[in-house]
A and B are shown apart, each in its own frame.
Chain A
Amino acid sequence: MRQDSLLTIKNLRTCFHTYEGVLTAVDGIGLEVYRGETLGVVGESGCGKSVTALSILRLLASPPAEIQGEILFDGKNLLNMSLDEIRQIRGNSISMIFQEPMTSLNPVLTIGEQISEAIKLHQGVTHQEAWSKAVEMLRIVQIPSPEIRAREYPHKLSGGMRQRAMIAMALSCHPRLLLADEPTTALDVTIQAQIVDLMERLKEEIKTSVLLITHNLGLIAEMAKRVVVMYAGKVVEEALVEDLFAEPLHPYTQGLLGSIPWMGRKMKAGRKQLQEIPGMVPSLLEMPEGCRFHPRCPRMMDICRKEEPPLVQKDGRRVLCWLWK
Chain B
Amino acid sequence: MHETIQTQVIRNPHRQTDSQLRRRWAKLRRNKAALFGAILILIYLITALLAPVIFPGSPSAPNLMKSLERPSLEHPLGTDELGRSILGRIIYGSRVSLLIAIGVVCVGLLVGVPLGLISGYYGGKVDFGIQRVTDTLLAFPGFLLALSLVAVLGVGLKNTIISVGISMVPIYIRLVRGCTLSVKEQTYVEAARAMGTRDVTILIRHILPNVMAPITIQTSLGMGTAILFAAGLGFLGIGVQPPTPEWGAMLGSGRAYLFNAPHVATFPGIAIFFAVLGFNLSGDGLRDILDPRSKL
Contact residues in A for B201 (Cβ distance below 8 Å): 117
Check if A117 sits within 8 Å of B16, measured CB to CB.
no
- B149-195 residues with Cβ-Cβ distance < 8 A to A are 186-195
User: How far is it, in angstroms, between the C-alpha of A88 and the C-alpha of B191 when the chains are bound?
Assistant: 15
Partner of B193, one of A59, A108, A122, A170: A59
Q: A103-B188, A106-B210 are in contact. Are A96 and B13 (CB under 8 A)?
A: no
Contact residues in A for B186 (Cβ distance below 8 Å): 103
Check if B188 sits within 8 Å of A121, measured CB to CB.
no
Count B interface residues, CB 8 Å.
23
Tell me if A87 is interfacial: C-beta within 8 Å of chain B.
yes
Contact residues in B for A122 (Cβ distance below 8 Å): 196
Helix, strand, loop or mixed for chain B's interface?
A: helix
Check if A98 sits within 8 Å of B191, measured CB to CB.
yes
Tell me if A151 is interfacial: C-beta within 8 Å of chain B.
yes
Check if A100 sits within 8 Å of B198, measured CB to CB.
no
Tell me if B141 is interfacial: C-beta within 8 Å of chain A.
no
Nearest-neighbour CB distance to chain A for B74, whole angstroms, equals 55
Q: A87-B196, A91-B196, A121-B196 are in contact. Are A104 and B191 (CB under 8 A)?
A: yes
Contact residues in B for A95 (Cβ distance below 8 Å): 194-195
Of the listed residues A95, A98, A108, the one surrounded by the most CB atoms of chain B closer than 10 A to its CB is A108
Check if B196 sits within 8 Å of A104, measured CB to CB.
no
Q: A100-B187, A145-B10, A152-B13 are in contact. Are A106 and B195 (CB under 8 A)?
A: no
Tell me if A92 is interfacial: C-beta within 8 Å of chain B.
yes
Check if B191 sits within 8 Å of A105, measured CB to CB.
yes
Check if B10 sits within 8 Å of A90, measured CB to CB.
no
Check if B123 sits within 8 Å of A104, measured CB to CB.
no
User: How far is it, in angstroms, between the C-alpha of A38 and the C-alpha of B187 when the chains are bound?
Assistant: 24
Nearest-neighbour CB distance to chain B for A180, whole angstroms, equals 12
Check if B210 sits within 8 Å of A107, measured CB to CB.
yes
Tell me if A156 is interfacial: C-beta within 8 Å of chain B.
yes
Nearest-neighbour CB distance to chain B for A128, whole angstroms, equals 19
Contact with B along A88-123 (1 / 0, CB 8 A): 111110011011100111111100000001100110
Check if B210 sits within 8 Å of A91, measured CB to CB.
no
Tell me if B209 is interfacial: C-beta within 8 Å of chain A.
yes
User: How far is it, in angstroms, between the C-alpha of A105 and the C-alpha of B209 when the chains are bound?
Assistant: 14
Partner of A59, one of B188, B190, B198: B190
Tell me if A57 is interfacial: C-beta within 8 Å of chain B.
yes
Contact residues in A for B197 (Cβ distance below 8 Å): 91, 117-118, 121
User: How far is it, in angstroms, between the C-alpha of A118 and the C-alpha of B188 when the chains are bound?
Assistant: 13
- A148-175 residues with Cβ-Cβ distance < 8 A to B are 148, 151-152, 156, 166, 169-170
> What are 9 residue pairs bridging A and B, where the CB atoms are less than 8 Å apart in the complex?
A91-B195, A95-B195, A99-B187, A104-B187, A106-B206, A108-B209, A109-B209, A118-B196, A121-B196
